[in-house]
Amino acid sequence: MLMKKVILIIAILFLIGALAFLTVRNQSGRPTVAINGQTYFIEIADTAASQQHGLSDRLSLPQDHGMLFIFPEKQVRSFWMQDMQFPLDIIWIDGDTIVDISENIPPPAVDEQPAIVYPKAPVDKVLEVNAGEVKRLSVSVDQKIITDL
């Protein structure tokens, strides 16, 4: 009888801890993506207008932030750096698996055509983060991402 009570108390404490963790994990209420233990607060681009504009015209992006593009179907997408002011790492994602990486894509110089980048495989998500993040975190193809969408 005593053993059952102990097990019940342990189970209740575990559930309380798990709920507390999930509640505290993202107090900002903003969606996140985690890669290799690094959590990024993300903006979602899931409409044609938000996807076309992306991070254009911004001067910078906070270190722990990014933009996640979500598409209704998998395709080989093309991204360009039109009106970008800072370099990006682009992480190409199929489901929850990284299928390609484009590192340190520079903004266009004055009077220069913007770079256009493509993944090697069809994707349904694309994550843009500050240039250097892929290298800093040792992100590689076939790794998983975790989202709280």
Give one DSSP letter per residue of 14-56, joined into a string: HHHHHHHHHHHHTTT---EEEETTEEEEEEEE-SHHHHHHTTT
pLDDT digits (tens, 9 = 90+) for 62-115: 999 999 999 999 999 999 888 899 999 999 999 999 999 999 999 988 888 888
Domain 31-147 sits in CATH at: 2.60.120.1140
Confidence band for 29, pLDDT divided at 50, 70 and 90: confident
pLDDT of residue 115: 84
pLDDT of residue 20: 44
**Cα dist. 90→9, 12, 50, 93 in Å?**
47, 43, 17, 10
Confidence band for 24, pLDDT divided at 50, 70 and 90: very low
Percent of the chain with pLDDT strictly greater than 90: 68
Q: Copy the structure tokens of residue 135.
A: 């290298």
Confidence band for 23, pLDDT divided at 50, 70 and 90: very low
Percent of the chain with pLDDT strictly greater than 70: 81
With a CB cutoff of 8 Å and minimum separation 6, the contacts of 124 are: 70, 71, 72, 73, 74, 93, 94, 95
pLDDT, average across residues 24-36: 76
Q: Cα separation of 61 and 85, whole Å?
A: 10
Domain-wise residue ranges, the chain: 1-29, 31-147
